[in-house]
């Protein structure tokens, strides 16, 4: 790769540092790759510092520390302090497992701006079942400590068929915890969520009912708690503008240093994703085949190519197109103009059939199951 810049390419704004695939939880909807156990090597502290500095120099302003569970990295505080020195707005995306008051104080002193804690459900029984780990009480405590130490209280609950019936209780729990923001993120079906889709995808009726409850609650807590309801794209008729357009805004670095335009991109065939150990962020962003693959519109096929909405959704999600059509260039099948839309409808019907019969057991995200891929 040459090191020259293309002036038509915007800079990365959002850097997601997936520090480690290690995680004490086993959520069956995890967005990490199914075969994550193959990638057990992790970047060193110095490697991460170089990545943070190079991306910041290019204009990245938002930094998410994620994983796996980023708290499994012993150098997290050091990296947070370095990010502050560089001028990032930093966010810790955590299950809360491994977080205690002393660590929150340390992170605050190091300059961490934001902590987002995920909770799996509103009841201990379901939370601990979905997490595959006893964690509910601890998460509640962590949420309170986050608030106590002056952070905005940001709760994230991933919504799916196993917990969607708890929507009223989830909303009440967030309010009781004093959440400033509640993200109700309907599951996106990649990675482990895709594997468990028949057991996770809610029906249209369940989704509509839950959305109405969340909308009504939004009005009730207006000015006190902000609720973001991320809709499941299977029930839309236009695809999402995934990652705000490939290689325009988001840069993800996997634990082993692989640079990805989206968290699922390493599952796409033929991309040959570059590694930060071999190339600078500037080279990767501007010159790599991977980051240039779906920039612009030249790669599009019909119906995207002649569609007047192509600059709005960029043909939708490349990973979803591959998962459903085995063709990375095809239109995201969520789109009603896609010749493969019936495949999304078939996935919905399959999940409904599974719900009506004996539910298949969930396959949990853990290294034993990962080694099967
Ligand atoms: Fe990869 Fe949408 S998740 S492009």
CB proximity list for 87: less than 8 A, separation 6 or greater:
56, 61
Q: Which H helix or E strand runs over 261?
A: none
Res. 117: pLDDT tops 50: yes
CA–CA distance, 297 with 281 (Å, rounded to integer): 24
- Determine the pLDDT at residue 5: 56
The DSSP result for 18-31, as a single string, is EEES--S---TT--
pLDDT at site 357: 82
Is the pLDDT at 359 greater than 80? The verdict is no
Average pLDDT over residues 252-264: 96
The ipTM of this complex is 0.92
Ligand 1, residues 234, 318, 329, 333: which to mutate, most atoms within 8 A of Cβ? 318
Which atom in ligand 1 lies closest to the alpha carbon of residue 316? Answer: 2
Which residue is closest in CA terms to ligand 1's atom 2?
317
- Gap from CA of 264 to ligand 1 centroid (Å): 6
- pLDDT for 84: 98
Q: Which atom of ligand 1 is nearest to the CA of 318?
A: 4
261, pLDDT greater than 80: yes
Q: What span, in angstroms and rounded, lies between the C-alpha atoms of 366 and 369?
A: 6
What residue owns the CA closest to ligand 1's atom 1?
319
Alpha-carbon gap, residue 203 to 193, rounded angstroms: 16
CB 253, CB 17: distance < 8 Å: yes
| Binding site listing | 23, 27, 30
Q: What's the mean pLDDT when you consider all of the chain?
A: 94
Strand partners, 93: 116
Distances (CA, A) of 284 to 269, 270, 296, 314: 18, 16, 17, 21
CB within 6 Å of ligand 1 — which residues? 190, 242-243, 262, 264-265, 317-319
Residue 296 has pLDDT above 80, yes or no: yes
**Kind plus residue range of the DSSP H or E element containing 228:** strand 226-230
How many angstroms separate the alpha carbon of residue 373 from the centre of ligand 1?
20
C-alpha angle with apex 328: 240 to 372, nearest 5 degrees? 100
Q: Is the pLDDT of residue 6 over 70?
A: no
């Amino acid at each position: 790769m040459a090191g020259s810049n293309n002036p038509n390419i915007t800079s990365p704004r959002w850097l997601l540092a997936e520090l480690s695939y290690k995680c004490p939880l086993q959520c069956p909807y995890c967005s990490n790759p199914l075969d994550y156990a193959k990638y057990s090597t992790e970047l060193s502290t110095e490697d991460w510092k170089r990545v943070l500095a190079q991306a910041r120099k290019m204009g990245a302003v938002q930094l998410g520390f994620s994983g796996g569970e980023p708290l499994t990295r012993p150098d997290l505080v050091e990296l947070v302090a370095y990010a502050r020195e560089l001028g990032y707005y930093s966010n810790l995306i955590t299950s809360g497992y491994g977080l205690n008051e002393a660590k929150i104080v340390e992170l605050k002193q190091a300059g961490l701006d934001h902590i987002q804690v995920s909770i799996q459900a509103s009841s201990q029984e379901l939370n601990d079942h979905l997490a595959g780990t006893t964690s509910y009480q601890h998460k509640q405590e962590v949420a309170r400590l986050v608030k106590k130490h002056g952070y905005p209280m940001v709760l994230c609950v991933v919504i799916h068929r196993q917990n969607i019936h708890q929507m009223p209780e989830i909303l009440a729990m967030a309010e009781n915890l004093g959440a400033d923001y509640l993200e109700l993120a309907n599951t996106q079906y990649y990675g482990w969520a895709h594997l468990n889709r028949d057991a996770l995808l809610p029906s249209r009726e369940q989704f509509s009912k839950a959305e109405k409850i969340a909308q009504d609650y939004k009005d009730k807590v207006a000015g006190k708690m902000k609720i973001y309801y991320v809709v499941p794209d299977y029930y839309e008729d236009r695809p999402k503008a995934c990652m705000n357009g490939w290689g325009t805004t988001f840069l993800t670095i996997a634990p082993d240093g692989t640079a990805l335009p989206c968290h699922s991109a390493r599952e796409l065939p033929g991309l040959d994703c570059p590694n930060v150990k071999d190339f600078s962020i500037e080279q990767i962003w501007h010159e790599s085949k991977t980051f240039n693959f779906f920039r612009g519109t030249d790669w599009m096929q019909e119906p995207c190519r002649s569609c007047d909405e192509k600059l709005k959704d960029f043909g939708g999600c490349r990973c979803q197109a591959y998962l459903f059509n085995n063709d990375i260039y095809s239109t995201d099948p969520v789109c009603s103009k896609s010749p493969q839309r019936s495949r999304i409808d078939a996935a919905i019907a399959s999940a409904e059939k599974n719900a009506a019969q004996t539910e298949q057991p969930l396959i949990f995200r853990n290294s034993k199951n990962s080694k099967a891929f």
